[in-house]
Structure 1
Amino acid sequence: MTVEHVLLDADGVLQRSAPDPVGLLSAWAGERAEELAHALWRAERGPLRGEGDFVEALERIVPAYADVAPGELYDALWRDIAVSEESLALAGRLREAGLGVHLGTNQHRQRAELMRTELGYDEHFDVSCYSWELGTKKPEPAYFEIAVERIGAAPAQVLFVDDVAANVEAARAVGLHAVHWHLDEGHDVLLEALAGHGLPLGEAGAA
């Protein structure tokens, strides 16, 4: 089947998160920084599937490890987002070429709402697949099965782009085409990969 849709990951593909999370946690929690990081990672697993509230969990966890206001920590680690204008331009270019362009990302509710509203992502994508709304997250097969159902396409008609190898492998196992790519590689690399899948991009570098 011909690729008719592109499903783009957010962090690492469309945007960059806090540039030095380890340094921030170390400044706040000192020798307990690694413990705090693991506690936050564990606490977010449920909310990424829409189970529980991550901000409420964070407000309980942070005071046990660090002398920092939970809201300050949240803003620094989850609200500090630098959008790649080049990636958004490429998404627009793909839409203009007649492809469906969609968002496929693991996010808890509050961060997803930030992306929808303050970052205006709803304007750039035809279908948005936030994990907390789907009740499953990448790399679980169910995530991709629900995503393609929402898009209204067969898996073989969808090309997925993500910076995490495990997510790319899981998408391929479900039948999607997939590209493993990170912003640090540069957009020329992504354009070449997309062209290799037959996407109508015109002249390379025009994004």
Structure 2
Amino acid sequence: MKVLMVDVDGVLVHGRPGDGLHYCTYLERDLGLKREVLQEEFFRKDHWGDVVTGRDNLEPRLTSVLERIAPGLSASTLIDYWFENDSRLDQALLGDLAALRAKGIPMYLATNQEHRRAAYLMEKLDLSSYFDGIFYSAMLGYQKPAPEFFRLATERVGIEAHEIAFIDDYPANIEAARQFGWKAMHWTPTATLNDALAAFSQ
């Protein structure tokens, strides 16, 4: 292993800062929008697919949806609410990753994100202090588990696929990474970085 790639949501980030609940848990109470409606009208239709692969920007596309489903709610208000309530960091894992990086292992985030949240993760949550960079779907034009995601990330990091290790909580992403040649481990709530390192050495 010459480089470690780390997923974000479900690995490093786990919901609301105070309690770890999904960021939409109190969405209707706080902003008057039902979680199911947002999921169906934005995330489960073509809108999110275009945004998360960089074909469109988040705010204008979300604005067009909110004009129909929640006309009194601005996209900027919802985006701020989402980002702030989906930002609980796994500090124990970050500490373990920092110790490994201090030994000379470069680390990158490998994640499905649109441009604004990718910047939020690196700047506002300060993940740029822990990682050498980020490869994300809106940057690459493909989202995991598409093989093109892994190909482009490999090309940009500049080493052979078999020299890259990867942790992710989504089985399809793990399978796709392995098919491309990365060493990959399925991350679970009870997993540790030592578990991953042991799996990578097999």
**2:43 maps to 1:45:** no
Give the 4+ runs in structure 1 shifted more than 4 A: none
Q: Which residue of 2 aligns with 1:89?
A: 95
Identity of aligned residues (%): 29
CA deviation profile, 1:45-64 (whole Å, cap 9, x unmatched): 11211111111111121232
When residues 24 and 40 of structure 1 are mapped into structure 2, their CA distance, relative to the original with a 3 A threshold, is farther
Q: 1:138-193 deviations in whole A, cap 9, x for unaligned?
A: 111000011111111111111110011111111011111111113x3253xx4223
Match of 1:124 among 130, 155, 162: 130
SS in 1 for 2:8: coil
In the alignment of these two chains, the number of paired residues is 192
| Structure 1 letter corresponding to 2:84 | R
Q: Distance in 2 between matches of 1:22 and 1:40?
A: 14
Aligned pairs for 1:20-39 within 5 A: 20-27=22-29, 28-30=32-34, 33-39=35-41
**Displacement, 1:76?**
2.3
The alignment's TM-score, normalised by the length of structure 2, stands at 0.85
**Structure 1: gaps (5+ residues):** 200-207
Aligned residue number for residue 192 of structure 1: 195
Pairwise CA RMSD of aligned residues?
Answer: 2.0
Distance 2:66 2:95 in 1: 38
**Length-normalised TM-score, structure 1:** 0.83
Correspondences of 1:13-162 after superposition (within 5 Å): 13-18=11-16, 19-27=21-29, 28-30=32-34, 33-41=35-43, 42=45, 43-66=47-70, 67-80=72-85, 81-162=87-168
Give the Å deviation of 1:85.
1.5
Instruction: Give the distance between the partners of 1:126 and 1:22, measured in 2 at CA.
Output: 30
